[in-house]
Every structure is written in structure tokens, then in C-alpha cells.
Amino acid sequence: MSFGTSRPTRPLILDDIRGARKMLSGVARMTAMEGSRYLTGLVGSPVHLKCENLQRTGSFKLRGAYVRIAGLSPEERAAGVVAASAGNHAQGVALASTLLGVRSTVFMPVGAPLPKVAATRDYGADVRLRGQVVDETLAAAQEYAHDTGAVFIHPFDHPDIIAGQGTVGLEILEQCPEVRTVVVGVGGGGLIAGLALAVKAVRPDVRVVGVQAEGAAAYPPSLAAGRPLVVGEPQTMADGIKVGRPGDVPFQLVQELVDEVRTVTEDELSSALLLCLERAKLVVEPAGASPVAALLSDPGAFRGPVVAVLSGGNVDPVLMQRILRHGMAAGGRYLSLRLRLTDRPGALATLLQALSAADANVLDISHVRTDPRLGVTEADVELHLETKGPAHCAQVAAALREAGYTILG
């Protein structure tokens, strides 16, 4: 099954996805399905996590990339392939090409996280850093394809890609045959289009819900308009679903088969990532945590059993550190305060005693004495505290006010 480099001559069908699954045998893993006790209690019915973050290369992208490249003609394979990506698609194309003996060139943004660049090289690709944003990187890859004859491997807008990603849906039906709702993150739409086709063909009663980051939500307005629309510059920490326009091929399937596309905030994404790490012991990138964010934001909206697809786990450690702190703040477990106190010996020690009595853990402290806005006998203290939740944050602030401190911000 292959549509080569041309537009599809017929609609995708379930047999295409079944054929892709045979092709992926021994290449892509059937990833684990893990129950979540916390989310089950929140939703009120069983919730399972489909762990594509544990797939080879750390995301579902290997599935589609392998099917697409395996379907190329001998002449196309000889010319090599080229892709543009900030991370997951890059690694999927690199490994798929190496497994199939095809030369791959991958263009990545200049600011791409170093671990993702290193991993893409390790999987066998010739990595070239071009452009500050993905659009510039994409243009460089397309120019390379034009100049060299290499086949451009689109991350989501091709039937072979969609068929490969749809194998996730077949696995869900086998691993959780009683499923009633599947929730999946959406960028360009390749994963949800293939998944929805596989699931609805076998179980049309199953509800398929897509999730986009609020700052990169191209599907809701596009579905309302009946055609793919370009949104303004996408803004989200979830780079795996940071896409400004739906793909033409997946859009038709999403329009026909997907029951709903929801949006989640950055706070909800970071809280979901933190929950996956703490409760499920799974490292998940923000895009992969988006289905969990949707469950957290509106647990009563999902009929169970629910399967939430954790689509990827490739997160830069530096970004992870920032997101975890953001998630702690969003969950009321991280409190930042600025206080003004009299600059006298022992004043800081007295403040720390008050915080200890309130059972707040000091993560960071900054003591400023030289700001021109301060009086001669004044000092400002900026505190970053670990707390136990929103109620404890309020208790800490109240205890400080009761002790005579003025909270400035």
C-alpha cells in the first residue's frame, strides 16, 4: 500500500491501516497500556494511558515515517529522503530511513534542543541546522528536495503517514476492547485522523476527542469554516502540536470522523505533565500530556472507559525543569512572594522561622538592600516556596501577615 509522492487516488480505508500494521511488525512496538488510578477516580470510570512515549524514538512518529518511506519506489529510495522537524518527526524519519537503508537528510531549527539534535544524528540522519523558526526550516528542506531530487517526507499530510499512525488505533481496540472514549493530542492531524479511521471502522460507537493547545488551535476554527485555516503564530510549550494549519489530507478525515476537538491552557498542560511524572511515573512531553490535561480540566465530559494517548516523551531537560516549576505553581504547590522588612540583624532569620512554623519549604531566596526605592532601614526579600496546595498557599500568606509582614507581590 503506497501512494508514493502523488495525491491520493482513493480514500484511505481500514485495510490500509491493517496493511501498515503488517509492514511495521518487528519495527514499531505495541506500546503498553497503563491504568491510572488517580484519573480513574477523577473521571469516575476507568482511564488507561496508551504509552507511545515508550515507542522507539520516543513517539508515535516512527510508525508513519516507516510506512511512508517503505512505500517509495526504488528510484525514489535511491534519491534519498529529506524532512524538516524540531524533534519527533526528525527522529522517526532518521530511524526509519536507517532501517530501510535509505539516505536521510533532516533540517532542524538552529535553536532545536541539543538532545533531539544528537538523537537524530545517532539514528543515522545528516542533520542540518537552518532557520530560527520551523517555517524557515521547512523552506530549507523543500529547497533541498527541489535541488537534489530527494523525497520530502511530510510529518502529517500524506496518506501513508496517516495509515502508519492509525495502527495506534488498532492496538487500542485490542488492548482495551471495552473502550468508549479515546482522547488524543492534535497538531497537523495525522495521528488523530488515522486513529479515528481505525477505531470508527471497527467501533463506530467509540467517541474520539482531539486536544489542541489553546495558543495553537487551528482545528476548531477550521472545522467551523469547513476548510483548513491558518491561525496566527502558534504559541505553546507543546512543540509537538505547535502547528499553524491542519493538513489537507487529515482534515477531511477529522471533519468526518472526530467527534470533538477541545483546547487546553498552558497551565493545564504543565499540570498534566507533572501528574504523569508523579502519579504514573512516566516522562511525557507537553504535547503527549495534552489528553491528560483535557481530562483534568473537565473530567465529567468523558464517558469511560477512556484511553488517553501519550503521544511522545521527548522533552528537553531544561524545558522539563521550567515546566515542572510552572506545573507546581499552577497546582498551588509553588508560591512566589516579595516582602519588605526592616534591615536589622536577625530580621531574615526571624522571617525564616515564621516560614518554618507555617511548614513552607524555601527553594530560593533573594535579599535586596541596595535598591534606590528602599528606605535606609528597609530591605526587600523575594521568596520561592514549595507548598502543599492552594489552601496551604493561603495559610502561608495569612501566617506572614499575622506575623506583621507586608506582602508586596
What residues are labeled active site? Answer: 61, 311
Measure the N-to-C terminal CA separation of the chain; round to a whole number of Å.
61
Give burial (CB, 10 Å; 0-12/13-18/19+) of 111.
exposed
Q: Tell me how crowded residue 33 is: count the other CB atoms within 10 A of its CB.
A: 16
CA distance 228 to 300: 30
Contacts of 14 (CB under 8 A, 6+ apart): 197, 198, 201, 202
Q: How far is CA 225 from the centre of its chain?
A: 26
How many CB atoms sit inside 10 A of residue 376's CB?
5
Look at the chain and count its residues: 409
Cβ-based neighbours of 169, under 8 Å, separated by 6 or more: 17, 182, 194, 195, 196, 197, 198, 199
Helix (H) or strand (E) holding 50: strand 47-51
